[in-house]
Amino acid sequence: MNPRIPVIIIFDTNFLMLPIRFGIDIFEQLDRLLDFSYQASVTKSVINELNDLKKNAKSSLTKEIDFALSTLSKYKIIDDSLNNEGSVDLHLLKLAKENSYVVATTDSELRRRLRDERIPVIYLRQKNHLALEGYILS
């Protein structure tokens, strides 16, 4: 692994809400889990999904969404131009496959699809720590 080129990790919508939902420090967990440099990233389609969710969210979910939106300055924003072509999850899958990105998600269906495509996934394990599934090749 080249230490000068960080691995891009794309966070999905629900992953951004982990700190409030489960009291997880995402970056502390990633530093524990990974022995290489990484760039935490979100796509514009994920940001749009958060904003859309906020419009109709119950008050309990609004707190999680507001937190996720307030942390966006910590992430590299990927301009992905979804253009209403399928779901955000399918778009993340395509983007990760085409660019050799890692995806961080709590969505079991997305995780299964990523695993089927041999794309590395970071996920929440036992509601208290992050785990890596798959291999990150340099």
Domain boundaries, the chain: 7-133
Residue 59: predicted pLDDT: 85
Closest CA to 2 of 38, 27, 30, 29: 38
User: What's the burial of 118, exposed, middle or buried (CB within 10 Å: 0-12/13-18/19+)?
Assistant: exposed
Give the rounded distance of the alpha carbon of 68 from its chain centre: 11
- Looking at domain 7-133, its CATH architecture is 3-Layer(aba) Sandwich (3.40)
pTM exceeds 0.85 for this model: yes
Average pLDDT of the segment spanning 54-70: 92
Q: How far apart are CA 83 and CA 72, in angstroms?
A: 21
